[in-house]
C-alpha cells in the first residue's frame, strides 16, 4: 500500500485517553482538535519542571538526494522500537509546510509503517499553527506600511525596510514585488517581496520561545528596518508585538499526535534547515524530556545544516544536552553521491557506493569530532539493497570506529528498528562527555561563519562583496554575540548543489545577511539559495485529490 493508504488504515486511539494512559496527562491539560490531535497546555509543561530530563537523541542524515534518505521515517521507527524495548519514548517532529507538500518533497509525517497520524491532517492544515504564524508576520508587515502612510512618526526609511511578507506556498512570482500601486490612498510605492512562512523570523521565535511572555518579548525585538539616521526600528516601536502574540497564543502550545503503533509524538513548529534553523519547538522538546526516558528528535536535511543549527542554535539557546546522534543513510543515496544515474540506483554498483561513502564519512566525522556526540549510522533499508552493498557500508563505518545498523522500519515498523534502538541505548549509556559547539559565543560574526564553512563544510575560505562585508561588520558591533544561521543549498557541502560527495577546498560566498534579533541569531545566505521556493514543472499538487466523501488521495 502507499503511505497514505497505510495511514488511512491505521487503528488510531483517541488522543485524550492515550495521553492519560501512557503518561498520566489528565484530559484537562489537553485541548482536543477532533479525536486524534490535541494541544498540551503551557501551564502543564511548566508544572513538569522539577522532573529530571530524559535522554535526548538527534536523528540527522547524509546530504539529501532525489533517492531519499528517510530521516523522519527513521525518527518514528526508532521511537516505536525504543517503546517496544520497554523504554518510555516520545518523538518530536516538525510540522510540514504546504509548499513542499504541493511541490516536490511531499509531506513530513514519515513513510511506510513508520508514520505519525492522522497523516492527511498533519500534512495539510493540522491545528492551524502555520496560518497563525503567517497572520502574525503579515500583520506586522501591514502595520509597517500603515505607519508610513499615516505620517511616519518613527522616521522609518522605506528604502531600509527589511521585513517582507510570507505565504506558506512555493510561489516564485512573489519573490520580488512592488506594493502601494494605485494612487495615494494605497500608500507609498516601494519594492517588497515574499518569503515562505517557514523562513519567517516569527517561525524561528515560535520554535525557540519558552513561554507566552518570552514569545511576546522576542516578537517585540524584531528589527523591521531602519530610520534615515540608520537607527533600528523594532516591532515594539510599532506596538505590534502584543497583537502578534495574541494571534499565536494557541499555536504556541505543542501538538500531540500518535504513531501507527499508538505511541505519543509531538509535532510542533516547522522551520526549514536550509533557510532557517530546522528544528521543532523548544517547548515540545522540553515537555517530552520531562515526560519520557528517551526523546528522539530530528533536525532538517543533512548534518551540515540541521544538526549544526540544532547544536549551535537550539541547544545553545535552550540549554539542551543531546546524548547521541543517529546518522541516516541509504545505499541508493550513497550511490547517487558516487555518480550513479538516478534511474540506475536500484542496481548493485559497489564502485559508485564506495565513491559516495565520502559523504557519509564527512558527516560522521563532523558529528563525532566537531559536535562531540557518539553516532550510530542507520542504514535505512530499501528492497533493492544487496548484501554486498550493506556489507560495504558496515565495513566503512567500522573503519571509522563506529557501528552501522540495517533498519527495516519502513516495511516492518518498530520491530524493524529494534537493533538500531539497542545500539542507540548502548551509545547513550557509554557517553560520558558533553556535546561541543562549532564556535564560541565571543567570536566575531565573520569568524563564526568561517568556522562553520571550514570545519563543517570543508571549505577553504569564505568571501563576500564589500557591501555584505560592511553589513557583517556593522551587525557585529551590536549583535556579534549571536550565533549564525547559515542558509545554503541542502544538496551539497558547498554552495553548488551539483557538487556531490564531499567537496573540499571550495569557497563559500556570502550573498546576504539578515538580522533576526527576536529569534536571537544572524541569518547568512550563501550561494544562490532562495527563501521563496518555486514549484517544479510537475508539482505534486497535480496528483492530490479528494473524493465525494472527503477521502484524500495522492499525498505522500
pLDDT digits (tens, 9 = 90+) for 268-290: 999 888 989 999 999 999 999 99
Q: How confident is the model at residue 161 (pLDDT cuts 50, 70, 90)?
A: very high
Tens of pLDDT, residue by residue over 205-258, are 999 999 999 999 999 999 999 999 999 999 999 999 999 999 999 999 999 999
Q: Choose, from 60, 65, 73, 285, the residue flagged as catalytic.
A: 73
Q: What is the pLDDT of residue 371?
A: 98
* Whether the predicted pLDDT of 333 surpasses 80: yes
Q: Choose, from 37, 87, 94, 290, the residue flagged as catalytic.
A: 94
Q: How confident is the model at residue 373 (pLDDT cuts 50, 70, 90)?
A: very high
Q: What is the pLDDT of residue 519?
A: 97
- Same fold flag, 3-127+251-430 and 445-526: no
Q: Choose, from 102, 194, 272, 410, the residue flagged as catalytic.
A: 410
Q: Which of 181-185, 242-246, 364-368 has the lowest mean pLDDT?
A: 181-185
For residue 13, what are the contacts with CB-CB under 8 A and spacing of at least 6? Answer: 36, 258, 262
Q: Are 272 and 302 in contact (CB under 8 A)?
A: no
Catalytic site includes residue 273:
yes
Predicted TM-score (pTM) of the model is 0.96
Q: Choose, from 194, 206, 266, 382, the residue flagged as catalytic.
A: 382
Q: How far are the Cα atoms of 143, 173, 174, 178, 336 from residue 182, in angstroms, in the given order?
A: 19, 20, 19, 11, 51
Q: Angle formed by the axes of helices 418-430 and 71-84, to 10°? A: 80
Tens of pLDDT, residue by residue over 303-315, are 999 999 999 999 9
Q: What is the mean pLDDT of residues 321-348?
A: 97
Q: What is the pLDDT of residue 168?
A: 96
Q: Are 302 and 62 in contact (CB under 8 A)?
A: yes
* Whether the predicted pLDDT of 490 surpasses 80: yes
Give the three cell numbers for residue 248. Answer: 499565536
Task: Give the SS3 label for residue 110.
Answer: strand
Q: What is the pLDDT of residue 76?
A: 98
Q: What is the mean pLDDT of residues 395-412?
A: 98
Sign of the CA dihedral 80, 82, 86, 92? negative
Catalytic site includes residue 73:
yes
Q: List the domain boundaries for the chain.
A: 3-127+251-430, 129-244, 445-526
Catalytic site includes residue 382:
yes
Q: What is the pLDDT of residue 17?
A: 97
Got the DSSP string for 138-185?
A: HHHHHHHHHHHHTT-TT-B-GGG----EEESS--GGGSSEEE--SSGG
CA neighbor of 115 nearest in space, from 414, 436, 336, 491: 414
* Whether the predicted pLDDT of 105 surpasses 80: no
Which CATH number, 3.40.47.10, 3.40.50.720, 3.10.410.10, 3.40.50.300, labels domain 445-526?
3.10.410.10
* Whether the predicted pLDDT of 45 surpasses 90: yes
Question: Using the 8-state DSSP alphabet, how is residue 382 labeled?
Answer: -
Q: What is the pLDDT of residue 184?
A: 87
Q: What is the mean pLDDT of residues 445-455?
A: 98
CA neighbor of 366 nearest in space, from 421, 417, 315, 310: 310
- The span from the CA of 316 to the CA of 520, in Å, is 11
Q: What is the mean pLDDT of residues 120-147?
A: 97
Spell 253-272 as b/e; 16+ CB within 10 A means b. Answer: bbbbbbbbbbbbbbbbbbbb
Q: What is the pLDDT of residue 107?
A: 85
CA neighbor of 40 nearest in space, from 50, 27, 53: 27
CATH number of the structural domain 129-244: 3.30.1510.10
Q: What is the pLDDT of residue 417?
A: 98
Q: What is the pLDDT of residue 375?
A: 98
- The span from the CA of 505 to the CA of 486, in Å, is 18
Q: Choose, from 61, 235, 273, 404, the residue flagged as catalytic.
A: 273
- The span from the CA of 454 to the CA of 445, in Å, is 14
Q: What is the pLDDT of residue 273?
A: 87
Q: How confident is the model at residue 494 (pLDDT cuts 50, 70, 90)?
A: very high
Task: Give the SS3 label for residue 436.
Answer: coil
* Whether the predicted pLDDT of 136 surpasses 80: yes
Catalytic site includes residue 105:
yes
* Whether the predicted pLDDT of 24 surpasses 80: yes
Taking residue 23's Cβ as centre, other Cβ atoms within 10 Å add up to 16
Q: Which CATH superfamily is domain 3-127+251-430 in?
A: P-loop containing nucleotide triphosphate hydrolases (3.40.50.300)
Q: Are strands 255-259 and 38-40 parallel, antiparallel or unpaired?
A: antiparallel
- Residue with the bigger pLDDT between 104 and 450: it is 450
Q: What is the pLDDT of residue 474?
A: 95
When the pLDDT of each residue in the chain is averaged and rounded to a whole number, the result is 96
Q: Choose, from 102, 301, 446, 521, the residue flagged as catalytic.
A: 301
* Whether the predicted pLDDT of 1 surpasses 90: no
Q: Choose, from 7, 36, 65, 71, the residue flagged as catalytic.
A: 71
Taking residue 471's Cβ as centre, other Cβ atoms within 10 Å add up to 18
Q: Choose, from 105, 234, 448, 514, the residue flagged as catalytic.
A: 105
Task: Round to the nearest angstrom and report the end-to-end CA distance of the chain.
Answer: 12
* Whether the predicted pLDDT of 556 surpasses 90: no
- The span from the CA of 380 to the CA of 108, in Å, is 16
Task: Give the SS3 label for residue 228.
Answer: coil
Give the three cell numbers for residue 105. Answer: 518533497
Catalytic site includes residue 446:
no
Tens of pLDDT, residue by residue over 404-444, are 999 999 999 999 999 999 999 999 999 988 999 999 999 99
Q: Are 329 and 379 in contact (CB under 8 A)?
A: yes
Amino acid at each position: 500500500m502507499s503511505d497514505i493508504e497505510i495511514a488511512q488504515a491505521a487503528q488510531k486511539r483517541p488522543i485524550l485517553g492515550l495521553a492519560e494512559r501512557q503518561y498520566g496527562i489528565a484530559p484537562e491539560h489537553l485541548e482536543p482538535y477532533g479525536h486524534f490531535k490535541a494541544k498540551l497546555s503551557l501551564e502543564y509543561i511548566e508544572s513538569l519542571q522539577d522532573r529530571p530530563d530524559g535522554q535526548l537523541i538527534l536523528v540527522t542524515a547524509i546530504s539529501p538526494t532525489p533517492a531519499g534518505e528517510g530521516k523522519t521515517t527513521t525518527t518514528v521507527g526508532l521511537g516505536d522500537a525504543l517503546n517496544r524495548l520497554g523504554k518510555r519514548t516520545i518523538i518530536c517532529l516538525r510540522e510540514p509546510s504546504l509548499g513542499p507538500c504541493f511541490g516536490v518533497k511531499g509531506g513530513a509525517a514519515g513513510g511506510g509503517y513508520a508514520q505519525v497520524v492522522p497523516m492527511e491532517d498533519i500534512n495539510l492544515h493540522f491545528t492551524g499553527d502555520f496560518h497563525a504564524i503567517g497572520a502574525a508576520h503579515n500583520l506586522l508587515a501591514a502595520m509597517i506600511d500603515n505607519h508610513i502612510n499615516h505620517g511616519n512618526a518613527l522616521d522609518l526609511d522605506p528604502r531600509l525596510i527589511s521585513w517582507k511578507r510570507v505565504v506558506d506556498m512555493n510561489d516564485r512570482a512573489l519573490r520580488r514585488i512592488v506594493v502601494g500601486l494605485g494612487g495615494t490612498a494605497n500608500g507609498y510605492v516601494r519594492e517588497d517581496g515574499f518569503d515562505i512562512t517557514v523562513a519567517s523570523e516569527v517561525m524561528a521565535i515560535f520554535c525557540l520561545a519558552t513561554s507566552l511572555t518570552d514569545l511576546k518579548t522576542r516578537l517585540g525585538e524584531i528589527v523591521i528596518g531602519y530610520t534615515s539616521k540608520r537607527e533600528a526600528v523594532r516591532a515594539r516601536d510599532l506596538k505590534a508585538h502584543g497583537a502578534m502574540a495574541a494571534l499565536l497564543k494557541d499555536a504556541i502550545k505543542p501538538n500531540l499526535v500518535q504513531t501507527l503503533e499508538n505511541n505519543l509524538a509531538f509535532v510542533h513548529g516547522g522551520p526549514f534547515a536550509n533557510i532557517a534553523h530546522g528544528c521543532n519547538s523548544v517547548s515540545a522538546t522540553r515537555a517530552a524530556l520531562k515526560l519520557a526516558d528517551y526523546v528522539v528528535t530530528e533536525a532538517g536535511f543533512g548534518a551540515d545544516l540541521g544538526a549544526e543549527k540544532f547544536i549551535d542554535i537550539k541547544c545553545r539557546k535552550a540549554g539542551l544536552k543531546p546524548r547521541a546522534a543517529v546518522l541516516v543513510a541509504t545505499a541508493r543515496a550513497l550511490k547517487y553521491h558516487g555518480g550513479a544515474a538516478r534511474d540506475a540506483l536500484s542496481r548493485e554498483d559497489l564502485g559508485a557506493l564506495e565513491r559516495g561513502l565520502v559523504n557519509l564519512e564527512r558527516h560522521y566525522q563532523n558529528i563525532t569530532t566537531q559536535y562531540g556526540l557518539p553516532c550510530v549510522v542507520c542504514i535505512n533499508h530499501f528492497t533493492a539493497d544487496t548484501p554486498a552493498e550493506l556489507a560495504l557500508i558496515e565495513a566503512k563505518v567500522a573503519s571509522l570506529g563506529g557501528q552501522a545498523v540495517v533498519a527495516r522500519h519502513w516495511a516492518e515498523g518498530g520491530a524493524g528498528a529494534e537493533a538500531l534502538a539497542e545500539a542507540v541505548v548502548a551509545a547513550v549509556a557509554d557517553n560520558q562527555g558533553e556535546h561541543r559547539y562549532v564556535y564560541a559565543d565571543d567570536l566575531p560574526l565573520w569568524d563564526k561563519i568561517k568556522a562553520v564553512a571550514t570545519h563543517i563544510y570543508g571549505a577553504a575560505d569564505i568571501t563576500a562583496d564589500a557591501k555584505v562585508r560592511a553589513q557583517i561588520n556593522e551587525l557585529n558591533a551590536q549583535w556579534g554575540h549571536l550565533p549564525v544561521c547559515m542558509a545554503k543549498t541542502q544538496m551539497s557541502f558547498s554552495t553548488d548543489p551539483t557538487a556531490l560527495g564531499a567537496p573540499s577546498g571550495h569557497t563559500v560566498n556570502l550573498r546576504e545577511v539578515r538580522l533576526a534579533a527576536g529569534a536571537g541569531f544572524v541569518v547568512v545566505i550563501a550561494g544562490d539559495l532562495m527563501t521563496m521556493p518555486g514549484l517544479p514543472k510537475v508539482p505534486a499538487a497535480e496528483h492530490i485529490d479528494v473524493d465525494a466523501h472527503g477521502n484524500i488521495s495522492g499525498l505522500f
